[in-house]
Structure 1
Amino acid sequence: MGLHGSSLRWFGTKRSEGDLDGKVSAWCKRSPSYDHNWTDLHYAASRGDLHKLNILLHSTDTDSCDRKDFYGKTPLYWAAYKGHRACMEQLIGHGADVNSQCKHGSTPLHTVIGLYPDCAILLIQHGADVNQSDKWGVTPMYLAACNGHLDGLRLLVHAGAVMAYRNKVTTLCWVASLGAWPTGTR
């Protein structure tokens, strides 16, 4: 499976001063630097570490709940993305904005609608905008429909989401997948 032997063969077998071995070994010892402006809250929420999250929430200011990383994503967004409902509850309880949008306009509801229905219910119960679109005009309803998530569609319909929607690229006709046409749309 794959390449056999040492990958150092690519650098030749002779070793002399000035060859790449010193540079390669120094490079291998360094860990990559991924600075996406994450706070400790981002890490705890993303990992589902409820204990650490509670400690951080009680020891920091309330504004830190909505602090955005390099991509504009909050700790609530990352907890939602990973499906950590208990962490989401704690963040919402400390004032996290359920409608916070990242750089692309996506919200926590966009991330959970097809994967974690219980997390979607939590967000909707706390005021998540079910009709919020991202920069491309994509709504949670559109995402659920495109991916065939009927439970998500039903949840959004019950929450008052717009039934017919056209994003900036295409029109999606998904209403038939629910088994009934809403009145006045035919």
Structure 2
Amino acid sequence: MENKSDDGALHTTTLTNKQRGNEVTVRPATLDNLSIHQFAAHGEISQVKTHLASDISLLNSQDERGFTPLTWAAAFGEIEMVQFLLEKGADPKIFARERESALSLASAGGFADIVSILLKHEVDVDSYDWNGGTPLLYAVRGNHMKCVEALLGHGADITFESDSGYSPVALAVALGYKKMQKLLEDHILKLLRN
């Protein structure tokens, strides 16, 4: 069907397949075009090994966000990938573009085993990102008790405040996390006794 507009131009009212959404606009990714970062996020150790065999500099390579393969693996809770990359010599102290770290992302995700592994590699337990968030603050926000315990056990600063003005205790109170609040308060009392 065709219509003429006020300016005399001819316009068709028939919808194309693309307008109806019947056309595939992006081809699905194949293994050939996935990056080492994507493979790390998905825990594909054999694919990461293949990439590293052809270019070991990829081990600490940063993508457009500044994330390394280790950062992605930590963010997605891929513990075997984290262990593999660390054994290969991945640097757990690299910060992404907005100062995100593997430790802060693992803490935010509640991946306590990965948090513990990273802490053994002497990462900065109080590193902060551009939002003023620390691994401890992210673990509290997610109500991840085991992550908080691991971070406190490695000396995380319980007084550090985010840019929004919340300390870990204040954040736990604001979010109504009673068990988290008790855990943090017990830690403060323990510090005061020593």
| Same topology, TM > 0.5 | yes
Bin for the TM-score computed over the shorter chain: 0.7 to 0.9
Residue 8 (structure 1) aligns with = none
Cα distance in 1, alignment partners of residues 137 and 151 from structure 2: 10
Structure 2 residue 107 is the aligned partner of structure 1 residue 102: no
Count of aligned pairs:
168
Are 1:75 and 2:69 counterparts?
yes
CA contact (8 A) 1:98 1:126 kept: yes
CA deviations over 1:78-101 (Å, ceiling 9, x no partner): 111111111111211222221222
Q: Which amino acid aligns with 2:36?
A: L
Which aligned runs of 4 or more in structure 1 are off by greater than 6 angstroms?
A: none
1:129 to 2:124 alignment = yes
Aligned residue runs from structure 1 range 1-150, under 5 A: 19-21=14-16, 23-24=18-19, 28-31=23-26, 40-61=35-56, 63-113=57-107, 114-150=109-145
Give 1:48's aligned amino acid: G
How far off its partner does 1:147 sit?
2.7
| Closer/same/farther in 2, CA of residues 143 and 80 from structure 1, 3 Å limit | same
TM-score (norm: length of structure 2): 0.73
Give percent identity, aligned residues only: 22
Q: CA deviation at 1:135?
A: 0.7
Using the TM superposition, give the Cα deviation of residue 29 of structure 1 relative to its aligned residue in structure 2, in angstroms: 2.7
Aligned with 1:29: secondary structure? coil
Can you list the C-alpha shifts for 1:18-56, whole angstroms capped at 9, x where unaligned? 54415537982320799xxx9631121111111111222
Q: Which runs of 5+ in 2 are unaligned?
A: 3-10, 170-179
Unaligned runs of 5+ in 1: 1-13
Q: Residue 76 of structure 1: SS of its match in structure 2?
A: helix
Q: Name the TM-score, length of structure 1 as normaliser.
A: 0.76
Partner of residue 183, structure 1: 191
More helix by share: 2
Over residues 137-161 of structure 1, what are the superposed CA-to-partner deviations in whole Å (9 max), with x where a residue is unaligned?
1101111223322211111111121
Q: Cα RMSD over matched residues? A: 3.0
